[in-house]
Amino acid sequence: MRPNHVQKASDANDALRLVVDFARTGRLGPLYCGMSLEQVEDLLGPPDDVQGRRRPHRRRPRYYLWGTDLQLLICDDTVVRISVPCWGSDRHPVGLPAPIGGWRRPPTSRLPMDDVIAALDAAGCSWREAPEMVVDRDGPGRAIRTLETGVVLVFGPDVDGDEPGAWLHAVMKDFPDAAPGSPSEGC
């Protein structure tokens, strides 16, 4: 095996491990729903961008963005949703801050649905279909929700258009009280 293939396999394993850990624990690295914005900023530094005002008003959630792909929905200075809405591919690797994945550079992040589901099953992470998530009605799109933590994983066609089948597109977790109508139900 050539060295760059070893690196890609290692990167994919790191990305898969992060996804499975998130699905099992409800934590994306050190981040969890319910932590304060101040705790997040202590960990990650100031956000790279904020949708709307700098500080959300009570019951008026705002998305705070770190890196190219981490979005935290903040309501009343509390994290109510953690999401990576575009997990990435070989050409567009997932961009998460270093404290989340521990990567110095974004890893190859193309994760086949079958590999993700097999890893969840091997880790004892129970899941069910999530028909409440509207995903690509006519294609290979699919969403699942973990039973213990409520993490949603969304799968669909390869974003680069290179490979057939379904691939991980997004991961997200809502604060337990926020789930039904989301994204701000619990605010």
pLDDT score recorded for residue 31:
96
* Beta strands at 152-156 and 167-174: parallel, antiparallel or unpaired: antiparallel
Which residues span the domain enclosing 19? 3-175
Confirm whether 69 is domain-assigned: yes
Confirm whether 20 is domain-assigned: yes
Token couple for 23: 């699905």
User: What distance lies between CA 130 and its chain's CA centroid?
Assistant: 16
- Using alpha carbons, list the distances in angstroms from residue 168 to 36, 52, 57, 80, 113: 28, 29, 33, 22, 6
Confirm whether 14 is domain-assigned: yes
CATH number at residue 96: 2.60.460
Tens digit of pLDDT at every position of the chain (187 positions): 333 333 344 555 688 999 999 999 999 999 999 999 999 999 999 999 887 655 545 567 899 999 888 999 999 899 999 999 888 777 777 888 888 877 766 666 789 999 999 999 999 999 999 888 766 655 667 899 999 999 999 998 877 777 777 889 899 999 875 544 444 454 5
* 160: number of Cβ within 10 Å: 13
3-state SS, 38-78, equals HHHHHHHCCCCEECCCCCCCCCCCEEEEECCCEEEEEECCE
Confirm whether 95 is domain-assigned: yes
- 171 by DSSP, 3-state: which? strand
**CA–CA distance, 152 with 179 (Å, rounded to integer):** 11
Reported pTM: 0.82
Confirm whether 183 is domain-assigned: no
Q: Report phi then psi at 102, rounded to 5.
A: 80, 15
- Indicate the burial class of 54 (C-beta count within 10 angstroms; 0-12, 13-18, 19 or more): exposed
Confirm whether 185 is domain-assigned: no
Confirm whether 186 is domain-assigned: no
Domain count, the chain: 1
Best CA proximity match to 175, nearest among 87, 82, 109: 82
Give the list of residues 6+ apart from residue 99 with CB closer than 8 angstroms, or none: 29, 30, 43, 44
Confirm whether 184 is domain-assigned: no
pLDDT score recorded for residue 175:
87
User: What distance lies between CA 177 and its chain's CA centroid?
Assistant: 19
* 2: number of Cβ within 10 Å: 7
